[in-house]
Amino acid sequence: MDLRRIRYFLTVARTLNFSQAARELKISQPALSKAIQQLETEFGGSLIRREGRLTHLTRLGERMRNSLQEVEDAANRAGQLASRIVKTETPCIRIAIMCTIDPGKVGRCLAQFQQDHPNLSIELLDFTAATIQEALLNGMVDVAILGSPVEAVPRLRTHELFQERMVMSCGSQNRLAQRESIPLKMIAEFPYIDRLRCEFRDMILSMIDKNDVSLSVVASSEREDWIKSLLAQDHGISIMPESSASSAGLKSVILQDQKLLRSVYLTIPAGREDQLPVQALIKHVKSFNWTIASE
């Protein structure tokens, strides 16, 4: 239903004069008459009867006037609400963060961003490697911070933020905590805790199989906080990003002869970077000193 036609009808219903209504609406009388006829076609009956210079509402017109007035009033209220929101609501950037990204380093970057841009807000949303690309493409989020690049999709732009090692991590009471490095085969001697949402899990398991190492998996979880808690209680060992181990107070031990690195990326759908808040965020994360953030 065309709100413009509703407004035209309500003006005629109030003035009962096509000439006056056309002047108020700043349109020609033929255009006004055509709009009313189109509305009558929609309703399947006459709304206004013209008898020479006299104009009055039909029974259908009388019955429809209040209902159409409610429609116009609701549309006006919606417009006023939208205007207030646009003028007063703080612009918000929706950021998808892969659950394996430790909040420490990225959190310092985002905290500095908000200090520099107090008129912007951020919404942090948790996603897995399997769902983050769809969230980016369907507009559910504006940008994403993830630990592995998404598939090569022309619409997605990717910026590498930093690299870090994947290490064997354990609690401070574990006898490996005093070691700087260990051979990969040594992890077979300890209970292993499996990080189910790790984006490199398949690669790590493949590496372990190729080196003929048997894992003794005693626990597994999709939640990083549970994994870290179990490690801190010396329930086992696990392979995870060095920043995640460090922030949880866990010990990091390098795996000898295994160069395991992961990159953390900022990913933006093409066109989304046209938004000024997103532009500001991109500029900030690209200039942020990630080396200092690691200390």
* 182-193: b (≥16 Cβ within 10 Å) or e: bebebbeebbbb
CA distance 277 to 185: 48
Per-residue pLDDT of the chain (295 residues; tens, 9 = 90+): 788 999 999 998 899 888 898 999 999 989 999 999 998 899 999 999 877 667 889 999 889 898 999 988 888 888 877 776 666 567 889 999 988 888 888 889 999 999 999 888 899 998 887 788 888 888 889 999 988 766 666 788 888 899 999 999 999 999 999 999 999 999 999 999 999 988 888 889 999 999 999 999 999 999 999 999 999 999 999 999 998 898 889 999 999 988 888 889 999 988 887 888 899 999 999 999 988 655 5
Q: Can you say whether the dihedral through the CA atoms of 229, 285, 130, 134 is positive or negative?
A: positive
φ/ψ region of 278 (left if φ > 0, alpha if ψ in -120 to 50, else beta) reads alpha
pTM of this structure: 0.65
∠ CA 8-9-11, rounded to 5°? 65
